[in-house]
Amino acid sequence: MLIIFGVGHKTYNNRSFRDATYCFHCHNTSRWLLSKITTWFSLFFIPVIPVKTAYGELCPICKQGKKLSRVEYESKVNQTD
């Protein structure tokens, strides 16, 4: 059977903060990442329609962090530009 559609292809858009941030999980200070993860509906393995978008900020060392709302993400992106 041939599957011609699916959901699950993800694209990642990462940006780093200008200032270093302390991580309470791994106790390191580094430039954290702002992350935007988009899940796509694909047709013949080609991403066509975005299904879900998640935003967050995370420590680049231990990959721990927190989820952000779209508004929080966009305000932090504007601070880094």
Instruction: Give the C-alpha separation, 46 to 5, whole Å.
Output: 9
Q: Where are the domains of the chain?
A: 5-80
Query: So what's the pLDDT on residue 7?
Result: 72
Residue whose C-alpha is closest to residue 17's, from 68, 50, 53: 68
pTM above 0.85, yes or no: no
Query: So what's the pLDDT on residue 68?
Result: 93
Query: So what's the pLDDT on residue 28?
Result: 93
Ranges in the chain, pLDDT < 50: none
